[in-house]
Chain A
C-alpha cells in the first residue's frame, strides 16, 4: 500500500487566535495592585463605659478640619510629612528611661514571671466562668489568657528576662471633621503607618538582622511559626493603637 502523506494543518490563523486571547486579557485586567490601609472597627457596645480617665500624656491627637488644616497635639502642622517624625517621638521619648516631666507615654517592664502569674490567675477565672456557664466572660478570659501567653513567648524570643512595654492606654487618635478631604484622612494614616514601619524595621534589623518588609512578606506566605512570633514581638514592642473618632461637625 502506498504511504499516504499526513496533510499539514494550516497554522496561519493561530496568531490571530492568540491575539484575540491577548486582547481579552488586556481589556479585562489591570496592572495596578489594590493597596490600602487596613483598620479595625471597634465592636458596638450597648452600654458605653463611664468616663475612663486617660492621661493627657497617653493621647496623640491628630486633627484635621474642614479646610484640611492639620493639628497635632494642638500644634498646627503646615507640613503633613512631619507628622511621622512626631509619632516617632511619641513612641521613643521614654523608651529607655521614664521621665515624668515630658508629656509622652510611659514605658513599663513586663517580666516572664508576671506573665505566668497573670496566666495562672486567668486560668482559674476561666474555669470558674465555665462552671457558671458565663460564655461571654469565658471568652474574655480566654482572649486575655492568649494575650499573656503571646507576650510570654515574645519575651522569650526577645532574649531578655523582661521587655519594655508602652503604656496600655497610649494611643493615636485621628480626629477629622465631616468635610475633611479623603486625601488628608489617608495622609494621616500614611504617616502613622510610616512611623510604625520605621520603628519596627529598625528593631527587626537589630534583633533578627533582616528587613521588616521581608519578614512580613514571608510570614504571610509560609507557615513557619517562628516568623509569626517575630512579628508578634515587634507588634508588642510598638503597638498600633489607633482610634478614629467619628466627626460631629
Chain B
C-alpha cells in the first residue's frame, strides 16, 4: 500500500567505530605518561602517614638507585601473633620468618647487599648513596625503623628514606 519505500531495513543504523581505536590509544598514552610502574605488590598491609615538603623519589627510581622495604601487618590475620608487636617486614615480597619471635630485621643487611650486587653494571653509584626507602605503616613502632637503620649502617648503606604520602599531591 505504501507509496514511499522505507529507507534502510528498519534496524538501528550501524555506528561508525573507526575512530574508537584512536580514542582508546589516547587513553592508553595518557596512562602511560601519567603513571609509574609499581615496584611490587607488598605482602604486608600498610597505610603511610601523610606529610608535606617531601622529596620525589621518581628520578632515583628511574636510575634504579633505590630499594624498597615494607613494614606492615601481615595479610593473614592468624599470622599477626607470630610477629612481635604484630608487624612484619617484607623484602621483595617475602615476609621474613621469625622463628624466635624477635624482630625480623636481621636479614636486611644481607638483602641490601644482594640487591646491590645485582644492580646493572652501568649503575656506578656507590652503596652509600643507594637509597633504602622504608615504607612503614603509621602505627609501626619506631624501634623497628631504627633496627633497620642499624643494619644498614653495618653494611655502610648510608642513605635512608622515610616514606610518607604527600598531602599536596593526592
Interface residues of A, Cβ cutoff 8 Å to B: 11-12, 14-15, 17-19, 21-22, 25-26, 28-44, 64, 176-187, 189-190, 193-194, 197, 220, 244, 246-247
Contact = CB atoms under 8 A, between A and B. Distances in A.
A163 B150 CA distance: 37
B143 interface: yes
If over half of A's interface residues share one DSSP class (helix, strand or loop), that class is named, otherwise mixed; here it is: mixed
Contact of B140 (A15, A39, A181): A181
Interface stretch (B4-12, B93-101, B115-123, B161-169): B161-169
A247 B146 contact: yes
B145 A31 contact: no
Contact of A182 (B20, B141, B160): B141
Contact of A38 (B49, B52, B160, B166): B160
Nearest to B49: A183
Contacts of B51: 35, 37, 186-187, 189-190, 193
B21 A15 contact: yes
A36 B139 contact: no
Given A29-B35, A31-B35, A194 B164 contact: no
Q: How large is the interface on B (under 10, 10 to 19, 20 to 34, 35 or more residues)?
A: 35 or more
A234 B140 CA distance: 34
A43 B126 CA distance: 14
A28 B32 CA distance: 10
Contacts of B18: 11
B136 interface: yes
B170 A41 contact: no
A35 B163 contact: yes
24 contacts: A11-B18, A15-B20, A18-B24, A28-B37, A30-B36, A31-B35, A33-B36, A33-B56, A34-B61, A37-B54, A37-B161, A38-B131, A41-B152, A41-B153, A44-B153, A179-B141, A180-B143, A181-B138, A181-B142, A182-B136, A182-B162, A186-B164, A193-B51, A194-B53
